[in-house]
Amino acid sequence: MMGIRAAGKTDVGCVRKHNEDSFLVDEALGLFVVADGLGGHAAGEVASRIVVETVARFVGETLEKDRTWPLEYDPSLSYDGNRLKAALLLSDQAIGEDIRRHPERETMGSTVVAGLVHGTTVTLAHVGDSRAYVLGPGGIRQITRDHSWVAEQVANGILTPSEARVHPFRNVITQALGNGGELDIEIQNLDLGKTDRLLLCSDGLSGMVSDPQILDIVEGTQDVQSAVDSLISMAREQGGEDNITAVLVARSEDEK
């Protein structure tokens, strides 16, 4: 049986008073989630927690295909793709419902990146600037495209990637769960090679630690928990300007 090894950690960082990030590591479901809440005054942490809980519940309820689908089923996507897409749409609705009960949380929302791992197949869904990377002996590859203003400027050739990293608008995202806007949820599939790792993270990691530094740390240890701990430590050492979250997933060695 091929198993997976995974670890996750979140840290408030060195500047912020609250940690508005949430994450989930569920090896049994093969489900891994990072959500970065927005809205301040404790609302952001509510939003990111709603996302993690809603995704975990829906994915847990849809192990079998014999369920009435709560939303439109997209035949162009795999079953796992539909599970993640529906889970994110339900998270969006759940934040909206919470805002109706608590109008003081009006501005809250959340990014999300979620991975569902079955065997060697990874299905990814994301909204906002939380990222998924695949790392291996061949290097580090960013899988998700940020839904952010600076990423659009880079795509249009107006900013370079290094200008985007330090741009004053680098934190402006173009879509989020719960803010009432139209959602364009991206679903992707990829194969996880034997020595590959999947990293999900909030921008408090990717904004503080460069891709080559992330690769060095992850390739430097077999132990996923110590790699995650080192990633968080380096983000803190390099400023820790935002909440920092990392989830690392590897295929386990005991393949039979």
- One character per residue 199-228, x = contact with Ca ion (rule: CB under 5 A): ---xxx------------------------
Based on CB atoms, which residue is closest to Ca ion, 58 or 133? Answer: 133
| CA distances in angstroms from 101 to 46, 96, 97, 105, 178, listed in the order given | 13, 9, 7, 9, 14
| Nearer Cβ to Ca ion (81/204) | 204
Q: What residues have CB less than 8 Å from 43, skipping those under 6 apart?
A: 37, 104, 105, 107, 108
CA gap 98, 104 in Å, rounded = 10
Our CB check for Ca ion shows the closer of 39 and 204 to be 204
Q: How far apart are CA 229 and CA 8, in angstroms?
A: 9
Tell me the site size for Ca ion, rule CB under 5 A: 5
Name which of residues 175 to 194 contact Ca ion (CB under 5 A). none
Note whether 11 binds Ca ion by CB under 5 A.
Answer: no
Applying CB under 5 A, among 36, 45, 80, 146 the residue interacting with Ca ion is 36
Distance of CA 103 to the CA centre of its chain: 27
Identity of the residue, 115 or 128, whose beta carbon is nearer to Ca ion in the bound complex? 128
Cβ 202 to Ca ion shortest distance, Å: 5
Q: Which of 45, 126, 120 is nearest to 87 (CA)?
A: 126
Residue 57, helix vs strand vs coil:
helix
Instruction: Compare residues 121 and 238 and give the one whose CB is closer to Ca ion.
Output: 238
CB of 8 to Ca ion, least distance (A): 16
Query: Which residues, 6 or more positions from 96, have their beta carbon under 8 angstroms from its beta carbon?
Result: 178, 180
Return the range that interacts with Ca ion (CB under 5 A); candidates 99-107, 147-155, 187-195, 241-249: 241-249
If DSSP codes are grouped into helix, strand and coil, which group holds residue 5? strand
CA distance 87 to 84: 5
CB of 184 vs Ca ion, minimal distance in Å: 20
Binding site for Ca ion (CB under 5 A): 36, 202-204, 242
